[in-house]
C-alpha cells in the first residue's frame, strides 16, 4: 500500500522518471488544464496521511477505521481526520468483489490541477490515479487503474491548528474537457506504424453524409438476474434511417488485436506518436484500436463526411468519425453493426458508447466511448471490463465505471453498446 501527493519537486521528479521509462504510468492532467502546486507543506502532510487511509479502506474493507490520526504539526497535537471517502470506497470494493476481483493492494497518486488558498482554507482540484493489484477467480493477476478528478477542501481553526479535510468530492469526467473539442494537441511525429493491414484506403465518392441520425432509447443498464444469459440485439436507428441509401463496407475485426491496442494506450495519457492527439482522446483510442484490429481507412476531401474514417483524409484533416465519439458511433452503425440490448452482455473487442452530458444528463448526443478489454466470471455470469482514454482507465470493471458516473452526480445515462463482429 503506497500513497503520495505529486506536486512541486516530487511531481517534477516523477515526470523525469516517466520520461526515462522508469515508471509505467503517470498521473494524468488534461490538456486543457495545467499542473498546479500546493506549497503548504502542512496541508500536504494531511493529504498524504488521508490518502494512506483511503488505500487502507480499499485493502481492508470494513476493517478500515472511520477516522485517521494526523501527524502532529507545528508543535500541535495530532488531530483526528474523518475518512470522508470510506463509504464510497466500501461500496466500490463490493462492486469489484461482485465482478470477481480480489483487491490485494492499492496505490494512489494525486496531482494538483487547481489550487485556491487563503490563510485558513484551501480548495484543491486534483487528478487522482488509483492502481489496484487484483486477482480474479481464475487466479489471474492484473493491475487495473482508474483516473478521476476530485475536489478536496481543507480548513484550520487558526494559524497554529492542524489542517483537516472537510470535503472530498468526486467530479465528472468532463470537468475540464468537452467531447466536441478537435483542437489538435500534438501531430504525428513519425510515419504510420507498421500494421498487418498496410495502406488499404478506400476513397469515398458521391454525396457526403454530415448530419447525425437520432440515437434511440439505448440499451439497458439493469444488471441481469442471477443465472440468466442476457444478450440479444437491436438495429440502431441510424441503419433504419439510411437503409438502402448508404453502405459502408469494412473488414472483419480481429477482436484480440482491438483489445491489445486499447490496453497498450490506456495505461497513461501518453498516446501513440503515429497518430494525432486531442484534448479528449476517447474516440481517438477506439479508432486506433479498430485500425489495429483490421479496419481500413475511408477517405474523402470532407472531414465531416460520416462515411469516412481516417486520422488524415485526402486534404490532411482528421475525420470527425475518428476523433469524436458521437460521429464514430454513426460510422460504426453505418458499417452495419448491431446494438446489444444491455451493456452487461458485451464482449472483449466491443465498443460501448455513452450519452451522459452536458449538465450530467443525457441529451441525445453521445459524449464518450470505451472499449471492452476483458471480463471476469463468477458462478453466475461473465462481467465485462473496460479501458478508455480521457480520463485514462485500464481494464476496470464496467460496473465500477457505471457506479462512478452516478456518484459524480450524473442523473441519466443512455448506453449504446455495439457488437463489433
Tens of pLDDT, residues 348-361: 999 999 999 888 89
β-bridge partners, 383: 376
CA angle 286–350–372, rounded 5-degree value: 75
Query: What residues have CB less than 8 Å from 359, skipping those under 6 apart?
Result: none
Low-confidence ranges of the chain (pLDDT < 50): 1-32, 179-180, 196
The pLDDT value recorded for residue 349 is 98
CATH fold of 2-170 reads Nuclear Transport Factor 2; Chain: A, (3.10.450)
The pLDDT value recorded for residue 89 is 97
Domain extent listing, the chain: 2-170, 184-418
CA nearest to 85, candidates 40, 113, 54, 127:
54
β-bridge partners, 277: 186
Other C-beta atoms closer than 10 Å to the C-beta of 130 total 23
Burial status of residue 49 (CB atoms within 10 A of its CB: 0-12, 13-18, 19 or more): middle
- CB distance 144 to 396 below 8 Å: yes
Amino acid at each position: 500500500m503506497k500513497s503520495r501527493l505529486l506536486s512541486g519537486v516530487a511531481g517534477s521528479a516523477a515526470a523525469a522518471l516517466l520520461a526515462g521509462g522508469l515508471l509505467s504510468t503517470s498521473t494524468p492532467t488534461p490538456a486543457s488544464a495545467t499542473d498546479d502546486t500546493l506549497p503548504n507543506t502542512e496541508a500536504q502532510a494531511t493529504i498524504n496521511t488521508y490518502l494512506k487511509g483511503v488505500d487502507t479502506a480499499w485493502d481492508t474493507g470494513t476493517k478500515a477505521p472511520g477516522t485517521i490520526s494526523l501527524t502532529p504539526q507545528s508543535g500541535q497535537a495530532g488531530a483526528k481526520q474523518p475518512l470522508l471517502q470510506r463509504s464510497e470506497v466500501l461500496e466500490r470494493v463490493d462492486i469489484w468483489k461482485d465482478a470477481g476481483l480480489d483487491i490485494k493492494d492499492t496505490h494512489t497518486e494525486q496531482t494538483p490541477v487547481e489550487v485556491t488558498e487563503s490563510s485558513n482554507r484551501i480548495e484543491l482540484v486534483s487528478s487522482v490515479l488509483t492502481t489496484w493489484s487484483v486477482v480474479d477467480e481464475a487466479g489471474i493477476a492484473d493491475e487495473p487503474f482508474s483516473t478521476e478528478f476530485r475536489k478536496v477542501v481543507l480548513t484550520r481553526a487558526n494559524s497554529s491548528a492542524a489542517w483537516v479535510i472537510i470535503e472530498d468530492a468526486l467530479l465528472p469526467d468532463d470537468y475540464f474537457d468537452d467531447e466536441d473539442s478537435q483542437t489538435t494537441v500534438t501531430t504525428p511525429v513519425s510515419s504510420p506504424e507498421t500494421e498487418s493491414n498496410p495502406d488499404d484506403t478506400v476513397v469515398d465518392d458521391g454525396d457526403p453524409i454530415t448530419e447525425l441520425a437520432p440515437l434511440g432509447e439505448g440499451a439497458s443498464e439493469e444488471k441481469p438476474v442471477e443465472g440468466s444469459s442476457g444478450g440479444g440485439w437491436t438495429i440502431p436507428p441510424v441503419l433504419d434511417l439510411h437503409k438502402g441509401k448508404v453502405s459502408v463496407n469494412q473488414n472483419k475485426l480481429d477482436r484480440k488485436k482491438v483489445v491489445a491496442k486499447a490496453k497498450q494506450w490506456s495505461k497513461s495519457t501518453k498516446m501513440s506518436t503515429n497518430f494525432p492527439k486531442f484534448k479528449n482522446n476517447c474516440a481517438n483510442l477506439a479508432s486506433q484500436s479498430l485500425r489495429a484490429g483490421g479496419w481500413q481507412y475511408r477517405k474523402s476531401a470532407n472531414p465531416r463526411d460520416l462515411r469516412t474514417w481516417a486520422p488524415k483524409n485526402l486534404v490532411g484533416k482528421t475525420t470527425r468519425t475518428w476523433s469524436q465519439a458521437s460521429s464514430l458511433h454513426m460510422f460504426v452503425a453505418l458499417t452495419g453493426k448491431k446494438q446489444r440490448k444491455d451493456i452487461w452482455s458485451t464482449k472483449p473487442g466491443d465498443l460501448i458508447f455513452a450519452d451522459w452530458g452536458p449538465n450530467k444528463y443525457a441529451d441525445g448526443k453521445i459524449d464518450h466511448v470505451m472499449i471492452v478489454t476483458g471480463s471476469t466470471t463468477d458462478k453466475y455470469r461473465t462481467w465485462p471490463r473496460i479501458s478508455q482514454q480521457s480520463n485514462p482507465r485500464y481494464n476496470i470493471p464496467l460496473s465500477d465505471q457505471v457506479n462512478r458516473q452516478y456518484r459524480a452526480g450524473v442523473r441519466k445515462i443512455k448506453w449504446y453498446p455495439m457488437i463489433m463482429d
